Amino acid sequence: MPDIFEDRSSGLESPAYHSAEVTPSDSTDLTTHARALFVGTGGDIRVMTSGGDTVVFRNVPAGILPVRIRRVFAVGTTAADMVAVW
């Protein structure tokens, strides 16, 4: 089936084009900075943003966390079933 949108440029308001399951790590960045994180099972999420800030988002519900993310840390993260989208 053809992609009828392939000739259009995408912006930040466009739906994600790629995705990858996230394995939290205290030493490894995501292969590509995510523009948002899908959270399947809510909880706390400790991240490093694309801007280099490290922060813990507390009590994140299941759904979309609209933050550009470089790394999801294992220590400090209780949420699960996460998928990075970009």
Integer Cα distance of 5 and 43 in angstroms? 35
Contact criterion met (CB below 8 Å) for 37 and 77? no
Task: Select the more confidently predicted residue: 5 or 42.
Answer: 42
**50 Cβ contact list (under 8 Å, min separation 6):** 33, 68, 69, 70
Q: Residue 14: its pLDDT value, please? A: 83
Q: What pLDDT does 3 receive?
A: 81
What is the residue-averaged pLDDT of the chain?
94
Q: What is the DSSP letter of 34?
A: B
Rounded to two decimals, what is the model's pTM?
Answer: 0.90
pLDDT at residue 12 tops 80: no
